[in-house]
Amino acid sequence: MRYLLVVLSMLLCSATPAQAQISVGIGVALPGINIGINVPAYPQLVQVPGYPVYYAPRMNSNYFFYDGLYWVYQGDNWYASSWYNGPWQLTGPEYVPLFVLRIPVRYYRQPPMYFRGWRADEAPRWGDHWGRDWEQRRSGWDQWDRRSAPRPAPLPVYQRQYSGERYPRAAEQQNSIRSGNYRYQPREAVTQQHFQQPVQPNQQRQPQPQPQPQPQQQQQQQRQQQRQSQPQPQPQWQQQQRQQEQQRPQTAPQDKARDKKVTPQDKGRDNKNEERDQGRG
């Protein structure tokens, strides 16, 4: 009996950590799904020296703000949200902004086990963790000129007045409040895509067809084409002149010679010619 009690106690002790791990485990990164952290109020954010990134020193999580989005590294995954307490969206390692990847190890308030042994003032060795394929795709991610770092995005302090029951959960409500209070234009492509209206999976944006003209518009176009194809009408006086010319009878050349008038000079000239002809005969 005593042996049975010992076995049962060992089983219960081994099951307790598993249950605790499941209760705080990472959920699917979909709107409305918890990823294991809860931020009941707007957090205190402090800029990382020399970086356009903020971190939350009082939170027990790897919580950052960059380029208009909140970033959380939890359970070997990166999540992003435009509001401080989600909903969160999963972001693949190949799409995480470079300045988020460059955050030094010391600013991770809950660093994972594989961070041990890495220098605190340098970025995590993501290439060692995510593999050679990722490092080839993100080649040069840890090489940059610190003097050319961009200015940090302004903090969305308007979200301080939204907490508890006032915190908006619907994406449409969050976007409406943000667009009316936050005018910052993001630089990163992943942030711009996050702020845009999402497209459904397997759905591509097709080019919109040109609007077809209405029947009335088609008739107007046909009339206009007919007017352009028809010759321009002549003035009325030209039409009357052409009609008069067509109605006037044409005279033959003989009639013109017959109608020619004989003047006295012509008669005298003809008599002289006749006398000359008789003298020769």
pLDDT in tens, the chain (281 residues): 444 444 444 444 433 333 222 223 333 444 545 798 999 999 999 999 999 999 999 999 999 999 999 999 999 999 999 999 999 999 999 999 999 999 999 999 999 999 999 999 999 999 999 999 999 999 999 998 988 899 999 999 999 999 999 999 999 999 999 999 999 999 999 999 888 855 443 333 333 444 444 555 556 666 766 666 565 556 566 666 666 666 666 555 555 555 555 555 555 565 555 555 555 55
Cα–Cα distance measured from residue 44 to residue 181, given in angstroms and rounded to the nearest whole number: 19
Say if 180 falls within a structural domain.
yes
Cα–Cα distance measured from residue 32 to residue 169, given in angstroms and rounded to the nearest whole number: 7
Closest CA to 69 of 78, 59, 60: 78
157: domain range? 26-193
Q: Are 69 and 191 in contact (CB under 8 A)?
A: yes
State residue 234's pLDDT score: 60
Beta bridge pairs of residue 70 = 65, 81
Cα–Cα distance measured from residue 202 to residue 205, given in angstroms and rounded to the nearest whole number: 10
State residue 204's pLDDT score: 38
Say if 123 falls within a structural domain.
yes
**pTM recorded for the entire structure:** 0.61
The number of domains in the chain is: 1
Cα–Cα distance measured from residue 218 to residue 41, given in angstroms and rounded to the nearest whole number: 62
Cα–Cα distance measured from residue 116 to residue 105, given in angstroms and rounded to the nearest whole number: 9
Closest CA to 49 of 155, 152, 125: 152
Say if 132 falls within a structural domain.
yes
Say if 7 falls within a structural domain.
no
Cα–Cα distance measured from residue 171 to residue 169, given in angstroms and rounded to the nearest whole number: 6
Say if 183 falls within a structural domain.
yes
Spacing of C-alpha 190 from chain mean position? 12
Say if 133 falls within a structural domain.
yes
Cα–Cα distance measured from residue 67 to residue 91, given in angstroms and rounded to the nearest whole number: 15
State residue 115's pLDDT score: 96
Structure tokens of 51? 């970086």
DSSP string, 9-69: HHHHHHHHHHHHHHHT----SSTT---S----SPPP-EEPTTSS-EE-TTSSSEEEEETTE
Say if 80 falls within a structural domain.
yes
Say if 261 falls within a structural domain.
no
